[in-house]
Amino acid sequence: MLQKCLALLFIALLSACTYQPYIAALPAEVEQQQLLSMQQENEEWLLLDVRSAEEYQAGYIKGAVNISHLQLSDKISSIEQYKDKNIVVYCRSGRRAGIAIKLLQDSGFHQVSHLVGDMNGWQAANLPTVNQEQ
């Protein structure tokens, strides 16, 4: 019985050790109100919408540049000037933004953040969007 308990404890400790690097690799997050403040400043930074073109046209956050997460690796040179500047990434719910953030970081972009709540959260908070379909 004691051996089983020790074995379970050992496995739990190993699991915790392997989980920690994942936690450390999570991108910084930008809150919605913080993004609104950033939009008022004159600093050069990039708001990157990694949803599909159709989703983008239906409504996006003012100032966002749309590059689908599926096309980002092919079009990464188009945002090269932001390599040492702040980049805030969002999608609909977070999955695609996470993929894009990893790709950007692996490509040498160091100041990459994730918009908390993504577009779903932005719209739920009734924050302003631009709609190209109107």
Question: Would you name the residues annotated as active-site residues?
Answer: 91
Q: Which amino acid is at 49?
A: D
Query: How far apart, in Å, are the Cα atoms of 64 and each of 2, 22, 39, 57?
Result: 58, 28, 10, 11
Cα 130 from Cα 59, distance rounded (Å): 5
Q: Per the structure block, which two tokens stand in for 10? A: 């050992």
Token look-up 């990694």 returns 50
Token look-up 């577009």 returns 119
Query: b/e per residue, 81-102, with b = 16+ CB within 10 A?
Result: ebeeebbbbbbbebebbbbbbe
**Beta carbons of 70 and 86 less than 8 angstroms apart:** no
